[in-house]
Amino acid sequence: MPLPRWLARFNGHVTNRLLDPMARLLPGWGVVVHIGRKTHCQYRTPVLIFRDGDRVIVSLTYGRESDWVRNVLAQGGCQLETQGRTLQLSRPNLFHDEGRGAVPALNRLALSVFNVSDFLELTISSMPST
């Protein structure tokens, strides 16, 4: 079971606003920039990321039903701000991995503590910009 939804709502209103400036710069973190399915407003969601060549894996700590995940799937991609760059991501693919083999070993341990085994894979579709 991923982290509880009430914590996701709290983070959306409080923690995400504090994390946004740091998540755009720190390795292993990023900010997903996505458009709401109903509101058509732009949203920013800090996430844990794992880059592997031309793909980015995002751990879904609040599960696959999170609004931002549904927005990215509906939109067919998103932008990711990470380490001072903006990447255009496309071809979102949800997957379940009990063994957490898509992420580095140390991260596997941390994600297993919170029983996170759902991930979103995206492909980098354009060169990074600053």
Chain segment 21-44, per-residue pLDDT in tens = 666 777 889 999 999 999 999 999
* 104 — pLDDT class (breaks 50, 70, 90): confident
pTM across the whole model: 0.81
Indicate the length of the chain as a whole number: 130
Partnered with residue 90 across adjacent β-strands are: 77, 123
In this structure, is the dihedral angle defined by the CA atoms of residues 109, 114, 119 and 125, taken in order, positive or negative? negative
CATH of domain 5-124: 2.30.110.10
**What tokens does 79 get?**
């932008």
Rounded CA-CA distance 50/121 in Å is 9
